[in-house]
Amino acid sequence: MRVAFYAPMKAPSHGTPSGDRRVAALYVEALQEAGHRVEIVSTFSSYDAVGDGERQAALRAQGLALAAQLQKSLRADAWLTYHVYYKAPDWLGPSISRALDIPYVIAEASFAPKRAGGPWSIGHEGSADAIRLADLLICPTQFDIPTLTSLVADRSRIIVLPPFLDPRPFDAALDDRAAHRARLAAEHGTDAAVPWIAIAAMLREGDKAASFLQLADVLRRIGDLPWQLLVAGDGPARGDIARALEGAAPGRIHMLGTLQAQEVAALYAASDICIWPAYNEAYGMAMLEAQAAGLPVISCHHRGVPDVVLDRRTGLLAPSGDIGALAQLARELLVDPPRRAQLGREARRFIAVERSLPSAALQLDRALAQVQGRRREPAIRSN
């Protein structure tokens, strides 16, 4: 099947690393793994960060004009848009899909009724229209389904495909765990004799910075225990975040900067535990990656996190926003190596069996086949 792929917020080929770009690329890989031919049809971004009505109107006009051009030459059997919400509506997919008479699919759509009439009203209404028109909505977690059903009466048009990744780089990294740990200890002056806490995340303002501030609070509360923190990532808030972490735990913080995917896998494989509050995150790919490398994860029970970290099976979840409980769980796991090992083994097994790229490819392939079959049914009955 020829699949036209589009990400209105950030194309998979975008130069700035982000979780959104990474997940978009994983969808492309899953489609290709299933044997489909994927074309990234546009890098046009409809994203409006600040709620500027004039900008949204201009982006809508630009998107609709681009859609009219694309539909003249595009050849596809299905259209899949990744991540549609009020800040990044899809102005291409609905009209092109109608013109070509092909299934229109959205992966990771969200709808926020509270945005109606606000500064993002154009994007809000555009996203709602796209969601209503979609032949299939693919949700990474259960969290967004209730609001989607307010727009889509037919529940069969909504399926859950949990977050996934390719576990192979993490498996390879684990095979060389000792070497990776020795190298990182030599390069960054970390103490290999104590537990390593690791996290890879963008260092930017907003929710990411809020998570790091909560992490700093957790570290302050467990300062009597031996451990080191290794942080991979970079961004405009690096200075403030580094100061907050260092202030909470002087001499124990190691900022590694931007790492490539294989280096992130090596970092997680060399470490012992992942602690990430995941403040306001939809689910958290970093925690999925940590588990692929056999790390137990400590986080909070909110939004889509329980779909990524299985409480008391692959990690431990504190009540949402309860930093004291989060610190207590960290304390329990840091002093209990056998339990860390048990949770880590189960985390790796969970990814391999339930959240792997091949598994997602199979589920995605079946979903596309079903939606194509449903569209053909009226024509078959009429004959």
Q: Do 156 and 42 share a structural domain?
A: yes
Together in a domain, 281 and 322: yes
In this structure, what CATH number is given to the domain that contains residue 63?
Answer: 3.40.50.2000
Range of the domain at 48: 2-164+357-382
Domain check: are 75 and 102 in the same one? yes
Mark whether 295 and 372 lie in a shared domain.
Answer: no
Co-location of 148 and 188 in the same domain: no
Which regions in the chain score pLDDT beneath 70? 376-383
Verify that 302 and 208 share a domain, yes or no.
yes
183's tokens: 């190298």
Q: Which of 37, 42, 33 is closest to 13 using CA atoms?
A: 42
Backbone angles phi, psi at 83, to 5 degrees: 70, 90
Q: Per the structure, how many domains does the chain have? A: 2
If asked whether residues 206 and 286 sit together in one domain, one would say yes
One domain, residues 280 and 362: no
pLDDT confidence of residue 17 = 73
Encode pLDDT of 203-247 as tens digits. Answer: 999 999 999 999 999 999 999 999 999 999 999 999 999 999 999
Beta bridge partners of 319: 301
Contact 268, 344 (CB under 8 A): no
* Closest CA relative to residue 301, chosen from 273, 270, 331, 322: 322
Separation between Cα atoms, residue 38 and residue 7, nearest integer Å: 13
Crossing angle, helix 285-292 and helix 337-354, to 10 degrees? 110
Decide: 251 and 223 in contact? Cβ < 8 Å.
Answer: no
pLDDT of residue 13: 85
Say what angle helices 323-334 and 207-221 make with each other, to 10 degrees: 60
Residues 42, 7: contact at Cβ < 8 Å? no
Q: Return d(Cα 131, Cα 94) in angstroms, integer.
A: 9
Residue (of 304, 200, 311, 310) closest to 257 by Cα position: 200
Task: Write down the H helix ranges in 1-110.
Answer: 19-33, 53-73, 93-100
Domain identity same for 242 and 144: no
State whether 223 and 306 are in the same domain. Answer: yes
pLDDT of residue 375: 72
Residues 248 and 219: beta-carbon distance below 8 Å: yes
CB 296 within 8 A of CB 340: yes
Long-range contacts of residues 124-129, Cβ cutoff 8 Å, at least 24 apart: 124/86, 124/89, 126/46, 126/60, 126/89, 126/90, 126/91, 127/84, 127/85, 127/86, 127/89, 127/90, 129/94
pLDDT recorded at residue 378 = 53
Q: Does residue 361 share a domain with residue 350?
A: no
Instruction: Return the H-helix or E-strand segment holding 306.
Output: helix 305-308
What pLDDT sits at residue 382? Answer: 44
**DSSP type of residue 23:** H
Give pLDDT, residue 381. Answer: 46
| Residue 372 vs residues 79, 208, 216, 247, 368: alpha-carbon distances, Å | 11, 39, 49, 56, 6
Tokens of 330: 């960290």
Residues 54 and 145 in one domain: yes
What is the gyration radius of the CA atoms in the chain, in angstroms? 22
